[in-house]
Each structure stands twice: as structure tokens, then as C-alpha cells.
Amino acid sequence: MKHFLSINDVTDLNQLITSGIASKRNPFADIELGKNKTIGLLFFNSSLRTRISTQKAAQNLGLNVITMNVGQDGWGLEMEEGVIMNGDKAEHVKEAAAVIGSYCDIIGIRSFAGLQDRDKDYAEIVFQQFKKYAEVPIINLESATRHPLQSLADCITIEEFKIKQRPKVVLTWLPHFKALPQAVANSFCEWMNPMDVELVITHPEGYNLAPEFVGKGQVIYDQDKALEGADFVYGKNWSSYEHYGQVLTSDPSWMITEAKMSLTDNGKFMHCLPLRRNMKVADEVLDGPRSLVIEQAANREWSAQAALREVLLHI
Ligand SMILES: CCC[C@H](NC(=O)CCC(=O)O)C(=O)O
Ligand SMILES: NC(=O)OP(=O)(O)O
């Protein structure tokens, strides 16, 4: 696997999940793999889990790690080609990517959607430019449209906690007053499609995700109906794709409560975090036995280690 940008870079999903679970059992089995190699982690946006879990996973593989908050620690980067750089960006990605690629053997990048121009966001210009000019493997730490390290951790978690061969997995939209990217929801659906699960997606009208991510997912606009018999409830807010970047509603009746979870088949609750308590999900759920959010976040270390190991094996 040269890059890890999406599930399309993965040749064997079951092998990757197995590798993540194996790393959990024996974290330092491949400590020599990354010896004398360096990974650079570039953050254009905030992060807790991705930042720490990816650094830990890299260290478990013997990699040296350099972390940078782009735009704060370094210069603002111009991504467009052929522009006159007389604005607030002091450096072009052509130079920055080539220079970072000369220091690092692998580069991880977090760059969220701007939520202003759908075509621009869904073209993933930041990742295309770094792939073109850095000339080293690129790892997606959440891009405008995907979050594969999160999705691999989600797959590992479902494999660990499922009690049926083909569980019902419900992705439910949750209310928020801010416009958030579709990336986590897109990616979750994309990774659930090849898994042996019944995938249901529930959200208010106007929040349909792009069809290329929904795939086999059954869309149900009635949340209570969607939750019936669910084995896993995956909560996430996202802004409208159809009315790009807009918050069409923040209806609090979509918040997950114990009453909502009682519609499931003893369902477990998942969320990528960070999560705004009692706006998206009630304390009674997060503090109760249904919640897997901590185990899910802990699996980010093993998700990153499985992905980085695959990339290192092909450098
Ligand atoms: C892993 C999730 C990262 C990000 N989440 C947020 O930006 C939450 C921000 C907030 O709630 O204010 C998102 O929704 O893509
Ligand atoms: N789930 C996730 O990626 O968390 P951070 O945004 O804190 O990295």
C-alpha cells in the first residue's frame, strides 16, 4: 500500500483489521520496521485522538515522528497553481511539500473541508498537491471527504464487539449548531459497505450523503424506525451535502437518549469523538454500559499501526 487516503488504497480489508487486532496484542512486534525512518504529521486543523494515536503507533513501529500545526507553526500554504501570491499565504505547496518530503519518509495530513465550495472540497486539492510534490507516501488524518484511520478503528471495534455474524449498523445524524464536514460519515459508510453488516443511514431530509459513499446503505428519514433492532448505533453530525455546508436543522429530537437506544437490540453506541454531551448524546448513554466510545478511540492506535505497517512494508 503506497498511500493510505481511502479504502481504495486497501488491498485486503480483513487482513488490515486482523493486523490491527494483532498489533493490539503485541504492540512492538514490528518495532524494527520503521527504524531510521521519519513520519511528518501535518495538522491544518485541531486534533486529539488522531494526533496522539498516530504518533504512538509510529513509535510502536520504531519511526521518528515530527508533528506540525501548519499555518500556526509554519507558513500559510497556497494550494492553487499559477496564482500571484500577494495575499496572506507566504509559501506555495510546491516548495513546502517537496521540502517536507525531503525530510520525511511518510507524511500524514489533516485538512478538513472548507464547506464553501463542494467541487473544490471533493477534489481533495491538498492531498492531490502533496501526493504530486512530496513524492513520499501520504496518510489521510482526515481530509475534506474521508477519515480512513477512524473508519478502520470503527471496523476493528465492530469486529471485536459484534455478537451476530451480520449485525445491523445504524449511522444516525446528530444535531449540531455548527456546520461540520461529511468526512467521517462518508468514510464510515464507505468502509461498512464491504463489511458483513446491514447498513442503515438515518438523517433528516436534505442531509443525504453523496451516493458514491452510501452504496448499499438503506436511507430511512425516521430515526426511531431506523434504530429498531440495531446492534450498533454510530452517531455523527454532518452538514448538508445537497445544500453544501449548510445547517438545515439542529432539531434536538435527534439527540440519542436511553429511550432511543431502548428501540435497539441491546445496541452499542459509537462516536468518533469529540462529542458535545447532552446536545448530541445524553449523559445517560455515554456514562452507561452501551457506550463504546472509549474502546473505539483506543482502537485508533491499532488502526494507525496497521495502516503505517502496510505503508512501511511497501516503501
Ligand atoms: C473527528 C471529527 C472531527 C470533526 N469534528 C469537529 O469539528 C467537531 C467540532 C465541534 O463540535 O465544535 C468532524 O466532524 O469532522
Ligand atoms: N476522532 C478523531 O479523529 O478525533 P480527533 O479529531 O481528536 O483527532
Nearest-10 crossing angle of helices 148-161, 293-313: 120
- Give the containing element (helix H, strand E) for 94: helix 93-103
pLDDT at 84: 98
Q: What share of the chain is helix, strand, coil (3-state, %, to 5)?
A: 40, 15, 45
Residues 156, 302: contact at Cβ < 8 Å?
A: yes
Give SS3 for 275: coil
Residue 289: asked if its preceding bond is cis (omega within 30°), the reply is no
Measured from the Cα of 236, ligand 1's closest atom is 14
As for the ipTM of the complex, it is 0.99
The three cell numbers locating residue 57:
503507533
pLDDT by position in tens, the chain (length 315): 899 999 999 999 999 999 999 999 999 999 999 999 999 999 999 999 999 999 999 999 999 999 999 978 989 999 999 999 999 999 999 999 999 999 999 999 999 999 999 999 999 999 999 999 999 999 999 999 999 999 999 999 999 999 999 999 999 999 999 999 999 999 999 999 999 999 999 999 999 999 999 999 999 999 999 999 999 999 999 999 999 999 999 999 999 999 999 999 999 999 999 999 999 999 999 999 999 999 999 999 999 999 999 999 999
Tell me the β-bridge partners of 64.
38
pLDDT at 71: 79
Q: Mind listing the domains of the chain with CATH numbers? A: 3-147+300-313 (3.40.50.1370), 150-297 (3.40.50.1370)
C-alpha distance from residue 154 to each of 62, 130, 197, 243, 271 (Å):
25, 27, 13, 28, 9
Q: Ligand 2 pocket: which of 147, 186, 272, 299 to mutate (most atoms <8 Å of CB)? A: 272
**Backbone phi, then psi, for 274, in 5-degree steps?**
-70, 150
Q: What angle do CA 244, 248, 250 make, to 5 degrees?
A: 130
pLDDT at 1: 86
Distance of CA 57 from the midpoint of ligand 2 (Å): 15
Ligand 1 pocket (Cβ < 6 Å) reads: 178, 180-181, 183-184, 272, 274, 276
Q: Ligand 2 pocket: which of 44, 45, 50, 275 to mutate (most atoms <8 Å of CB)? A: 50
How far is Cα of residue 30 from the mean position of the Cα atoms in its chain?
Answer: 24
pLDDT at 237: 98
Task: Look at the chain and count its residues.
Answer: 315
Give SS3 for 92: strand
275-288 CB burial, b ≥16 within 10 A, e <16 = beeeebbbeebbee
The model's pTM is 0.98
Residues 287, 311: contact at Cβ < 8 Å?
A: no
Distance of CA 51 from the midpoint of ligand 1 (Å): 14
**Cell 511518510 identifies what position?**
106
Q: How many Å apart are CA 97 and CA 75, to the nearest integer?
A: 12
Residue nearest to atom 4 of ligand 2 (CA): 49
Residues 134, 100: contact at Cβ < 8 Å?
A: yes
For the CA of 273, the nearest ligand:
2
Q: How many Å apart are CA 220 and CA 214, to the nearest integer?
A: 12
Distance of CA 273 from the midpoint of ligand 1 (Å): 8
